[in-house]
Amino acid sequence: MRKRGAGVSQIRRQQRANDQYREIGNNFADRQMEQMKSQLQVFKSNLVEFSRKYRKSIRKDPVFRQHFQTMCSTIGVDPLASNKGFWSELLGVGDFYYELGIQIIGVCLSTRGRNGGLVELGELKRQLTKMRSGGSSAQEITMTSYVL
């Protein structure tokens, strides 16, 4: 007996099977995407609720703020990305870091003649603390180190 080669009907049958597999795969991917969107929405709601509940601690306590920032960066959320973003409006932390960044630039520029604008962190903290001590609502700044 002779083995038959691939005929037109065999090619069509294979094409239909491939189309069915593709459709099943697309349906599965769509269901997974919907589940992920739903989980992300629940997560965002919980994170927003946490942020509202601990807003004062996040703004006033530098250690708590650091832990909050670490938690957010671990999950890929950056509450400090912009001083006009969602997190800034919710927490007000964007303003703190925006202002601090401007002050750091000011210190670096003012010392550029002496050190090329490169300031040792301890000296930078001293100058920033001195600069910020005038305001009654000034938030404390701290130096934190990360061990990798």
- Within 13 Å, how many C-alpha atoms sit on residue 39's CB side? 6
Query: Using one digit for the tens of pLDDT, what is the confidence trace for 98-129?
Result: 677 778 888 888 888 898 888 888 888 888 88
Residue range 64-81, pLDDT digits in tens? 877 887 787 777 776 655
pLDDT-derived band at 148 (thresholds 50, 70, 90) equals very low
Whether the per-residue pLDDT at 5 is higher than 60: the answer is no
**Do the domain assignments include residue 14?**
yes
Please, which pLDDT band fits residue 143 given cuts at 50, 70 and 90? low
Structural domain contains residue 148? no
What pLDDT shows up at residue 19?
94
Q: For residue 109, is it within any domain?
A: no
Q: What pLDDT digit, counting tens, does each position of 14-33 carry? A: 999 999 999 999 999 999 99
Domain total for the chain?
A: 1
Residue holding tokens 């604008």?
Answer: 117
pLDDT value at residue 130? 83
Q: Residue 119 has what DSSP assignment?
A: -
Instruction: Round to whole Å and give the CA distance between 80 and 59.
Output: 12
Domain range for 37: 8-53
Structural domain includes residue 127: no
Q: Quote the pLDDT of residue 22.
A: 94
